[in-house]
Amino acid sequence: MFLLNLLLVSVQLKDNTGVFYVERMVNTVSIPVVTASITLTRWVKKTYETYVDNIHAQEENQKLREEIFGLRTRLLLKRNLDYENRQLKNLLVLKRKLERPGLAANVIGNASFSGMNLVLIDRGERDGVIKNMAVISERGLVGRVWKVFSHQSQVQLVSDPASAYSVRIEGTLSAGLLSGVGDIRIGSIRYFPNKEKIKPGSRVITTGGDGICPAGVEAGVVLSAIPSDSFFQNIKVAFSAKLSNLEHVLVLKPDSSSAGKNRMGNRK
């Protein structure tokens, strides 16, 4: 009973400012807790808002990345289409220049990198392709049709050592045979007389004398010409066509004078 009375008296005691001691004690203890609670609440709220902002920023960044990727993809496709259109237009111009009917084809297989000197095109017997038709690109001579199937054909590249095309060198009167040496970039000209003066960089042009490729097709550029002890020079040529990166080619139909020969050769 005494302790209860003492507690009741102490609760009613005031300090000099008229504030109850108990009230001051409660405030002294509770204010730091309340302040800490408010601070923690504000920190949690700010952290959550920052987290939400970061999520939104990440979503916006992802959308921007997707838009940029889409724009880059469309730009790349447009460039590819522009490049393909230029190639096809150049082939059409070359076809008109040669005054020889031709058939556009796509290269669907390239074994030139493996040393086989062959490519596969998507045109065949049903398209009117026959053996020994000349094949060119917008840059120049590619080779000739080697084997014909129903819907596809194999093309023997000019880089094949077994190939032989009648060519002349710009600024000369003689002709020689352009053959491959197994390198898809470089070939050689045989049977070109020593008497002819040849400058490196001179163009190599087909003459049409082989009965396969018509006259006037650019075949390459002279890299070097060294006279030999024999009657003929050693001539190295860089092919005009990029044989390792062929996409579109033109298969030239033979003229009326050589069509019969090619059909007989195809039957064989």
pLDDT recorded at residue 180: 94
Q: Sorting pLDDT into bands at 50, 70 and 90, what band is 267?
A: very low
Residues 152 and 183 grouped into a single domain: yes
Mean pLDDT for the stretch of residues 84-99: 63
| Average of per-residue pLDDT across 43-72 | 75
DSSP labels, the chain: -HHHHHHHHHHT-B-TTS-BHHHHHHHHHHHHHHHHHHHHHHHHHHHHHHHHHHHHHHHHHHHHHHHHHHHHHHHHHHHHHHHHHHHHHHHHHHHHHHT--EEEEEEEEE-GGGT--EEEES--GGGT--TT-EEE-SSSEEEEEEEE-SS-EEEEETTSTT--EEEEETT-S-EEEEEE-S-SSEEEEES-BTTS---TT-EEEE-STTSSSPTT-EEEEEEEEEE-SSSBEEEEEEESS-GGG--EEEEEPPPHHHHHHHHHHHH-
pLDDT at 263: 44
Kindly state whether residues 134 and 258 are assigned to the same domain. Answer: yes
The count of domains in the chain is: 2
**pLDDT digit string (tens) for 139-174?**
899 999 999 999 999 999 999 999 999 999 999 989
- pTM for the whole structure: 0.63
| pLDDT at site 65 | 74
pLDDT at 265 over 70: no
Residues 39 and 121 in one domain: no
Q: What is the CATH number of the domain that holds 221?
A: 2.40.10.340
How does the average pLDDT of the chain come out, rounded?
Answer: 79
What pLDDT was estimated at residue 56?
Answer: 78
Percentage of residues in the chain having pLDDT higher than 70: 69
Its domain, for residue 262, covers 102-267
Q: Examine the domain organization and report whether 113 and 227 are in the same domain.
A: yes
